[in-house]
Chain A
């Protein structure tokens, strides 16, 4: 089975840096995804990691340690529009299993 754990809520200030952690236990691993979901909208793809290390894409970076079952999403230079839910999802043998999501609130 799959078990994915991430914090329920986080708050941060505009311009700051925030790190959202995700830990997982899975029976198969074929990569880890991060999605962003604004209220009332569809989840949108942010990043994918399958090998250990850091993947950087603009203001967003994602890190993976397979041996520790751990990932984080790093958001730099936070903007108000970054207020959203961030979903960690693990790809098993055939499908994605999602965590409950971390609601990030960015304040001025």
Chain B
């Protein structure tokens, strides 16, 4: 247990569905992240939230929509996805501090399959 939980752990959806992934961190961190992990590819950073403000959006298609209502919760809303969006979606959190390294703690991920 890393202190970061994600639900659901597995999700199968059609291309016309709308679903949401949820992440919660119990570590008191001030930054949260969404990553996509596809087979044979490196972890790809999707979104970064620092103090609830989105600070990075790595050219992610608009069919992925993040939401960060507070520093402990992060959502990823999904709509009209494509089969190539099938992947493991990982959430992470860290305590951002100047002059110190910011180790990221990862959740177990949501395995998403788009049919």
Residues of A with Cβ closer than 8 Å to B? 4, 30-31, 33, 35, 41-45, 48, 50, 87, 89, 91, 94-101
Contact with A along B96-112 (1 / 0, CB 8 A): 00000111111111000
Contact with A along B34-58 (1 / 0, CB 8 A): 0000001111010010000001100
By a CB distance below 8 angstroms, the chain B residues around A97 are 42, 45
With A and B bound together, what is the CA distance between A42 and B102 in angstroms?
A: 17
Nearest CB to that of B50 among chain A residues? A94
- Please judge, given known A-B contacts A4-B42, A98-B42, whether A42 and B108 are in contact too, CB under 8 Å: yes
Which of A31, A42, A91 interacts with B90 by CB under 8 Å? A42
- Please judge, given known A-B contacts A95-B48, A97-B45, A100-B40, whether A45 and B55 are in contact too, CB under 8 Å: no
Closest beta carbon of chain B to A99's beta carbon, Å: 6
With A and B bound together, what is the CA distance between A99 and B41 in angstroms?
A: 8
Closest beta carbon of chain B to A106's beta carbon, Å: 21
Closest beta carbon of chain B to A36's beta carbon, Å: 11
By a CB distance below 8 angstroms, the chain B residues around A45 are 103-105
B4 at the interface (CB under 8 A from A): yes
- On whether the beta carbons of B56 and A42 are closer than 8 Å, the reply is no
By a CB distance below 8 angstroms, the chain A residues around B48 are 94-95
- Please judge, given known A-B contacts A42-B4, A97-B45, A98-B43, whether A91 and B108 are in contact too, CB under 8 Å: no
